[in-house]
Structure formats: structure tokens, C-alpha cells
Chain A
Amino acid sequence: MTHDPLQEIWNNEEEPSTVKIDKEWLLNLVRKKQRDFNHAVLRRDILEIGIHLLCAPIFVYYGITSAKGGGQHVWTWYLVAVACIWNAGFFVANRLWWKKKTNPTAPSTSFLDRSMSEIENQIWLLKNILWWYLLPPGIAFLCVYLQRMMHKSGAVENADQLWETRWDFAVSYLAIVVVFGLLYYINQRYVRTELEPRKRELSELRENLIGEEI
């Protein structure tokens, strides 16, 4: 067959030698991927815990300083601080719980079982992110807004001003809802596009490589 110059160049390269691929090679690859995944999850957890622990004293400070200069004491800022501590605590508790559940030293727990358990745990965490991660600070912020709105409403002179105040607070709270909604969407998408395919992949591997793993 006649090749054009580009095909000639392409075919000038000798076939590169390939690596020996067997079940052990595949298992090593899965181990490597799982290690990378676990490191990424650990990095995320550390970052989340750090940010929440940093934010908690900031909201406490807001609460304390709100009453200074004769202003209203917005004690609901403390609720936001509590929500931050709750979120950080949830990450820690989940990690400890998962570690206890899948004891890596237990001989009956295989590597693929542990990987599967880790993925399932992450899917559970992210699918339920609304309840444990978004709702606590969401409700706490709502309390802050309501307290400030009620205080401001008490000082208005007529019904128009009252509705204007309510409208202002509703719009600014809506901004928080939108941000939280976006976070929810991103996480659900990650579950659909990354975690669930990975779970299927692991499930398939577990079925086919059973007995081969160390």
C-alpha cells in the first residue's frame, strides 16, 4: 500500500515495547488510584476542618462586637459559630467512624472491600450534604437575618418601610441560598460523574479479581 510522507514518518517508529499486564498489574493500578483518591479526600477534609475552625471565632467576634457602641446584641452570630464547629466536628467524626469500621489490619478486610467502603462513605457524605453541611449554617444565618430584621422592623415608621426592610433581608438571604444551592449542585454532580462510576469500576474489579488480591 502507498503511504504518504506523514504515514511514512509515523511508521518509521518501531513499535514500542509494552509492559506485562496481568491481574496483579491491574490490582496495583487500582491500589494506586485508591491511594490518590484517599489523599485527595484527606486534603479536602483538612482544608474543610481548618476553614471551619478558623471561621468559628470570627463569628463569635461578630457576636461580641455587635453590642458595642449601644448597638443590638446579635447573639445569633454564635449559632453560626456553632454550625461551623458542627461541620468541622462532622468531618472528624466521620473519618474516625470510617477508620473504625474498616480496620485496615483486619485480615478479613480486603483492599478492594476497603476501597469500596471508602467510596460508599464519600457517596453517602456528599449525597446527604444538604442535611449535615448546608442546613446547619443555613439555619444559623437565617436566624441572624431574622433577628436583625426584627430589630430593624421595630424602628420603622410606616408599613412601606417595613416591607422594604423585609425585602432587603430576603434578597440578601437569597444570595446565601444561591451559593449553598450551587455547592449542593457541584457535589451531586461529582457523585454522578466521578464517585458512582468509580464505585461501578471497583465493584466490577472486585467481582473479577476476587481471590487474586492481597
Chain B
Amino acid sequence: MDRDKLFKSWIDDYGGVILKIVRAYAFHRHDEDDLFQEIALQLWMSIPSFEGRSKPSTWIYKVALNTAFVWKRKEGKHPKQTDASEVETEIGGVGPTPAKAAEDREDLTWLYESLRKLNKIDRSIVLLYLEDLSYRDTGEILGLSESNVGVRLNRLKSRLAEEYARRAK
């Protein structure tokens, strides 16, 4: 498959996931555009190095997260705040009924805000867990051992579950 076709298929298949990663790392709408563009460019640039040894999804997550890490450092000047109303407007459609949709939207806003409060490695671990990646794949993407991923993820999941339960009360 040539470079253009491969790039197009990656964006078609994983564009939505990339946007989710972008939202977890960018705090303002204009930053989201910037980060998305940067990730897309880096993905395109990375194609010659992609030898097919790892799964495309693993490769794409790796490139996207590495770009987000570097981009964060560049964007360090920006205030690290989350504007709930802004986040809410950006989140995609949710829920089958208006009441359920509103509830789901609130939950999603909370989840994004919680993710943004974590450090970059922890945020990536949770993000990949939410995307249902195995410990092995997560470890490969982030350069951590499976056991390290497991220990950290269990701690993070308990913390988030506690916060969620407190919030539900």
C-alpha cells in the first residue's frame, strides 16, 4: 500500500481515537486543532519507519502519545485549567434520550477533567485502558513493563472509581 493510501486508512480508522487523545492533552479548542494537526503530520512522517512489525494501532497510539508529550512541553505557557463549559460543548453526541444524554455528557466531562489532572504517563495508561488495550500493548507503547502497567493502572482505576462513586452520591 502506498504512503497516501496508508495514511488515509489510518486517519479513517483511528481519526476518532486521535481526537480523543487530543482532548485529553489539549486544554483549549485552538490547542486541540494544533495538536491534532501536529499528530497527523507526525503520523504521515512516521510512515516510512513503520515496518509492520507492530500493529498499526500500537504504532498510531505511540506516535500520537509521543507527539502529545512533546507538544505539552511546548505549550507549557498555556494555563493548565479546564473550562467545564468549553469541554462540554466539544464533546461528541451522547445518550439515547435527552435526560440520559445530559447525564452521560456530565460523566464524560468529569472523565476528561480527571484525565487532565493526571501526569502524562498516568494519563496515557488510563487512556489506553479506556481504549481497551492490553497491558502488553500499553507497555509496548509507553516503554513500560507489563507488571508496571498493571500496578499503576490498578492504583489509578481505584482512585478514579472512588472519585466517581463520591461524585455519584
Residues in A lying within 8 Å of B, measured CB to CB: 1, 3-7, 9-10, 12-19, 21-23, 25-26, 29-30, 32, 201, 204-205, 208
**Contact (Cβ within 8 A) A13 B20:** yes
Q: Which B residues fall within an 8 A CB radius of A? A: 3-4, 7-8, 11-12, 15-16, 18-20, 36-37, 40-41, 44-45, 48, 91-95, 104, 107-108, 111, 126, 129-132, 157, 160-161, 164
Of B36, B44, B93, B129, the residue contacting A14 (CB under 8 A) is B93
Contact pick for A10, options B12, B15, B111, CB 8 Å = B111
Smallest CB–CB gap between B8 and chain A, Å? 7
Chain B residues positioned under 8 Å from A4 (CB to CB): 157, 161
Would B130 and A10 count as touching, CB distance under 8 A? Answer: yes
Give the docked Cα–Cα distance between A10 and B108 (Å): 7
Q: Is the CB of A18 within 8 A of B111?
A: no
Name the one of A16, A21, A22 contacting B16, with C-beta atoms under 8 angstroms.
A16
Chain A residues, Cβ within 8 Å of B7: 21
Residues of A contacting B93 with CB < 8 Å? 13-14
The 6 A-B pairs at the shortest CB distance, nearest first, are namely A18-B15, A15-B16, A10-B130, A14-B92, A9-B107, A16-B19
In Å, the complex CA distance between A95 and B2 comes to 40
- Secondary structure of the B contact surface, majority rule: helix
Q: Are B111 and A6 touching (Cβ within 8 A)? A: yes
Beyond A18-B19, A26-B40, A204-B45, 20 extra complex contacts between A and B, CB < 8 Å? A1-B132, A3-B132, A6-B111, A6-B164, A9-B104, A9-B111, A12-B94, A12-B107, A13-B94, A13-B108, A14-B92, A14-B93, A16-B19, A18-B11, A22-B4, A26-B41, A26-B44, A201-B41, A201-B45, A208-B3
What are the residues of chain A within 8 A of B104 when measuring CB–CB? Answer: 9, 12
Q: What is the minimal beta-carbon distance from A43 to any residue of chain B, in angstroms?
A: 15
Residue of B7, B95, B130 with most partner-chain A CB within 10 A:
B130
Give the residue among A9, A14, A15 with the most B Cβ atoms within 10 A.
A9
Determine the distance from Cα of A174 to Cα of B44 in the docked complex, in whole angstroms. 48
Residues of A within 8 Å of B44, CB to CB, are: 26
Decide: B130 and A7 in contact? CB cutoff 8 A: yes
Identify 10 residue pairs between A and B in the complex whose beta-carbon atoms are under 8 Å apart, listed by A's number: A12-B108, A13-B91, A13-B92, A13-B108, A14-B93, A16-B20, A16-B92, A19-B36, A25-B40, A29-B37
